[in-house]
């Protein structure tokens, strides 16, 4: 079994496959094992309806919240699995040595989170008796990754390969038989042969200029799966977090912590000093005390509109004002870095890739021998993701993918690798280093250019004209700029080479995003079209599926959304 | 804030080509507060594309008292092990070396799996 990606999903899949008796597991990681990836950056809560803090909670309520927040686009069969298995994964992690926050009597201390109807977020901050509990939450991600790393190391037959970049999947007669990789440390090219391959690489937030993701989140596995012929789903959906720093430059893209501040009386001003949310949410006084207390997608969109229409600050943000919040103690780090702790500039940032590789309830993709789990797969969250559901998804589907990959590995023989394909891939990869051109472009420059373009034209607010323009520019980038990239010809640690390969993947993801966004002529959750502002439940309760057609072009089609239990009510 | 010049002294070494490690000094313009990793990014993007360092900047939940780091960018900054992504440059000169006790792959990148026996 080959596992690509060593975050939460990858580790869980490796453990599960090993416990099913597979003793030849290779897990590859793009950075150092346990020291890279988005899991480390995960914030606060892990959603599971444990019924420990609020006994009225139930998996059914969790199901309902996820479906409604996903605007009925999520695959309800997958959501059912998620809510059913999430409490079990909490106990699994407990057994792996995770120190969850608990009451004295041993019940889990669960926190409320936006979008959840009951207190559902298991976390590992201070226990409820301690002062400041519930506000001073410690980061969950880093603890989770450390705990999973320890558990993986206890399973000694899991081979971990650090600093490996996977370039492509190898296929033979319609099934995936392994992957080609580059060892970043030495620059050597090699192939890994496997009976089953699990993708667990995470999202593709780097297609946008403003993102809060780890610099390696370039959607490599999504692009690889696409090239190998797998189906991708919901690629127009990218979730944005409303408030991330934009200035000073050195903290750009980092999230301003705690969305609870929006509820407590945070104020947002544009460059003119206008409290602009009053304009977007006119009748707020009937329901809420502040106009800023709105869901993530609405707040992001309002801030973005202000910036794009020229009412933003000179660094491209809006003012975040926390001076009026009673009893608010800002983190000390802000002062150290010379930022006014109460007033600074913020803008939305890409937070999560909702779309991805389409999976079944058994975590299989549309290709034989290929499995996917975690952020890399799509279709689960629908049009918006709830807080804490991402980590739960990684653990739940990681286990499912690990199990099914193990079962498949038992029942098949090791397939042959197609030598021609291997040579072609080697040629493709090494050709990049020999490219020479008079007006050469650095991959960094091209990346910046694409990120800016995507952010302005295909970000939070989209329209047909802008998307068509973007598509044209992306086409020229792919046709003209990619062959012009000039990179250093070094073997060891040639990060520029890797960046070029990532760049190709990013452009593929960007194209998918733009094409699907252009196709979906409505607004729903994270996807907002200026020319189609309404949610259209009669025509667009469908998922957009992307496959590669025979002439190497993207083929888009729609399938009806899987609605097994809940249907949207007509208003 | 007036822009000033910052001298970055980096210990560079490629085990395949070089006999021994050598220091190379880069001069870059800076403005305001600078993280070490941002200075390295500047050198990589504008001066020397062959510079090797763990450039995965974690843009995570930095905004809290317990910093959340991926811990990959650990290196010796002015002789002390520090995270490049969250260390602020002080003064107008800085020395960067790879972490000691591990095998150096190239420049500032070390192999966390291979500890050197001293």
Q: What is the DSSP string of A446-497?
A: HHHHHHHHHHHHSSSSB-HHHHHHHHHHHHHIIIIIHHHB-----STT-HHH
pLDDT digits (tens, 9 = 90+) for A138-185: 678 888 998 999 999 999 889 999 889 999 999 998 899 999 999 998
Residue A162: strand pairing partners: none
At residue B59, the pLDDT reads 47
Can the peptide bond before residue A303 be classed as cis, meaning omega within 30 degrees of 0? no
pLDDT at A362: 94
Tokens representing residue A121 in the block? 């977020």
CB A218 within 8 A of CB A202: no
Query: Between the CA of residue A457 and those of A211, A338, A341, A463, B89, what are the distances in Å?
Result: 15, 33, 32, 8, 36
Q: What is the mean pLDDT of chain A?
A: 88
For residue A43, give the nearest of B55, B61, B65 by CB distance. B61
Distance CA A233, CA A329 (A): 42
Q: pLDDT tier at A278 (50, 70, 90 boundaries)?
A: confident
Predicted pLDDT of residue A126: 79
The dihedral built from the CA positions of residue A512, A513, A518 and A519, taken in this order, carries a sign that is positive
C-alpha A542/C-alpha A498 separation (Å) is 36
Average pLDDT, chain B: 81
Instruction: Mean pLDDT check: name the lowest of A65-74, A109-118, A540-549.
Output: A109-118
Residue B20 above 80 pLDDT? yes
Q: A32 and B112 in contact by Cβ < 8 A?
A: yes
Distance CA A309, CA A265 (A): 25
pLDDT of residue B61: 43
**What are the tokens at A410?**
């038992």
pTM for this one? 0.91
Q: What is the DSSP string of A288-322?
A: -S-TT-S-HHHHHHHHHHHHHTT-S-TTS-EEEE-
> What pLDDT, on a 0 to 100 scale, did the predictor assign at position A190?
94
> B70 and A43: CB-CB below 8 Å?
no
Nearest residue of chain A to residue B35 (CA atoms): A250
The per-residue pLDDT for B1 is 45
Q: In chain B, positions 49-88, which contact chain A (CB-CB < 8 Å)?
A: 49-50, 52, 54-72, 88
Cα B83 to Cα B69: distance, rounded to the nearest angstrom = 9
pLDDT confidence band for A136 (50 / 70 / 90): low
Average pLDDT over residues A183-209: 92
The half-sphere exposure of A379 on its side-chain side, counting CA atoms within 13 A, is 32
Are residues B23 and B12 in contact, defined by beta-carbon separation less than 8 angstroms?
Answer: yes
Nearest CA of chain B to the CA of A379: how many Å? Answer: 25
Nearest to B62 among A249, A333, A494 (CB): A333
> Which residue of A132, A141, A211, A215 is the best one to mutate when testing the B interface, meaning the one whose CB has the most B CBs within 10 A?
A215
Q: Of the ranges A27-41, A226-240, A405-419, which one carries the lowest mean pLDDT score?
A: A27-41
pLDDT per position as a tens digit, A356-380: 999 999 999 999 999 999 999 999 9
Closest residue to A493, CB basis, from B58, B64, B105: B105
Q: With H, G, I as helix, E, B as strand and everything else as coil, classify residue A566.
A: coil
What is the band of A571 on the pLDDT scale with cuts at 50, 70, 90? very low
Give the end-to-end CA distance of chain A in Å, rounded to a whole number: 49
Q: Which candidate, A292, A401, A159, A166, places its Cα nearest to that of B113? A: A159
- What is the number of residues in chain A? 571
Asked whether residue A513 carries a pLDDT value surpassing 90, the answer given is: yes
Per DSSP, the three-state class of A100 is coil
Q: How confident is the model at residue A222 (pLDDT cuts 50, 70, 90)?
A: very high
Q: Which of B50, B58, B63 sits opposite A214 (nearest CB)?
A: B58
The question of ipTM being above 0.90 is answered as: no
Q: What is the pLDDT of residues B65-116, one digit of tens each?
A: 455 566 778 889 999 988 887 788 888 899 999 988 888 888 998 888 877 6
């Amino acid at each position: 079994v080959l596992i690509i990606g060593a975050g939460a999903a990858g580790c869980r899949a490796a453990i599960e496959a090993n416990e099913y008796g597979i003793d030849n597991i290779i897990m590859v990681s793009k950075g150092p094992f346990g020291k890279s990836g988005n899991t480390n950056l995960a914030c606060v809560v892990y959603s599971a309806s444990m019924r420990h803090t609020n006994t009225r909670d139930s998996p059914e309520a969790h199901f309902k919240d996820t479906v409604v927040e996903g605007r009925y686009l999520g695959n309800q069969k997958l959501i059912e699995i998620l809510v059913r298995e999430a409490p079990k994964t909490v106990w699994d992690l407990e057994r792996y040595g995770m120190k969850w926050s608990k009451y004295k009597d041993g019940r889990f201390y669960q926190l409320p989170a936006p979008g959840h109807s009951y207190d559902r977020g298991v976390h590992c901050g201070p226990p409820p008796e301690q002062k400041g509990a519930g506000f001073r939450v410690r980061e969950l991600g880093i603890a989770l990754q450390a705990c999973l790393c320890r558990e993986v190391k206890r399973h000694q037959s899991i081979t971990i390969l650090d600093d490996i970049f996977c370039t492509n999947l190898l296929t033979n007669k319609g099934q995936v038989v392994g992957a080609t990789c580059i060892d970043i440390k030495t620059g050597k090219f090699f192939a890994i042969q496997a009976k089953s391959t699990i993708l667990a690489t995470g999202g593709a937030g780097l297609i946008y200029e403003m993102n809060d993701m780890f610099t390696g989140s370039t959607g490599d596995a999504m692009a690889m799966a696409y090239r190998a012929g797998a189906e991708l789903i919901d690629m127009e959906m990218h979730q944005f977090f409303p408030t991330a720093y934009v200035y000073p430059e050195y903290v750009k893209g980092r999230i301003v912590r705690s969305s609870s501040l929006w509820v407590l009386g945070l104020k947002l001003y544009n460059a003119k000093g206008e409290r602009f949310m009053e304009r977007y949410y006119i009748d707020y006084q009937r329901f809420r005390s502040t106009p800023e207390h709105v869901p993530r997608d609405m707040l992001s969109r309002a801030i973005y509109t202000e910036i794009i229409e020229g009412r933003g600050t000179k660094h491209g943000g809006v003012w975040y004002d926390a001076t009026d919040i009673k009893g608010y103690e800002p983190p000390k780090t802000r002062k150290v870095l010379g930022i006014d702790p109460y007033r600074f500039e913020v803008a939305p940032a890409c937070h999560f890739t909702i779309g991805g590789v389409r999976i079944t309830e058994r975590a299989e993709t549309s290709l034989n021998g290929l499995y996917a789990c975690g952020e890399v797969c799509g279709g689960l969250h629908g049009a918006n993701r709830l807080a804490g559901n991402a980590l739960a998804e990684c653990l739940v589907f990681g286990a499912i993918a690990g199990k099914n990959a193990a079962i498949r590995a038992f029942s098949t023989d090791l397939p042959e690798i197609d030598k021609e394909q291997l040579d072609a891939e080697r040629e493709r990869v090494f050709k990049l280093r020999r490219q020479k051109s008079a007006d050469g472009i650095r991959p960094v420059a091209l990346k910046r250019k694409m990120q800016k373009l995507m952010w302005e034209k295909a970000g939070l607010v989209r329209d047909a004209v802008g998307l068509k323009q973007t598509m044209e520019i992306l086409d020229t980038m792919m046709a003209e700029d990619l062959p012009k990239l000039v990179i250093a010809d070094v073997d060891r640690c040639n990060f520029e080479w890797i960046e070029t390969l990532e760049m190709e993947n990013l452009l593929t993801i960007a194209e998918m995003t733009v094409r699907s966004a252009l196709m979906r002529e409505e607004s729903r959750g994270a996807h907002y079209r200026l020319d189609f502002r309404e949610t259209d439940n009669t025509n667009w309760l469908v998922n957009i599926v992307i496959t590669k057609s025979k002439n190497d072009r993207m083929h888009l089609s729609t399938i009806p959304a899987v609605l097994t239990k809940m249907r949207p009510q007509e208003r | 804030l007036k822009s000033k010049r910052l001298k970055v002294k980096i210990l560079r070494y490629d085990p395949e080509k070089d006999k021994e490690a050598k220091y190379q000094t880069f001069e870059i313009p800076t403005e305001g507060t600078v993280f070490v990793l941002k200075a390295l990014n500047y050198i990589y993007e504008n001066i020397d594309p062959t510079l090797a360092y763990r450039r995965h900047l974690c843009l995570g939940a930095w905004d809290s008292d317990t910093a959340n780091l991926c811990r990959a960018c650990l290196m010796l900054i002015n002789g002390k092990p520090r995270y490049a992504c969250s260390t602020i440059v002080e003064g107008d000169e800085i020395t960067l070396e790879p972490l000691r006790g591990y095998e150096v792959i190239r420049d500032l990148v070390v192999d966390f799996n291979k500890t050197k026996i001293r």
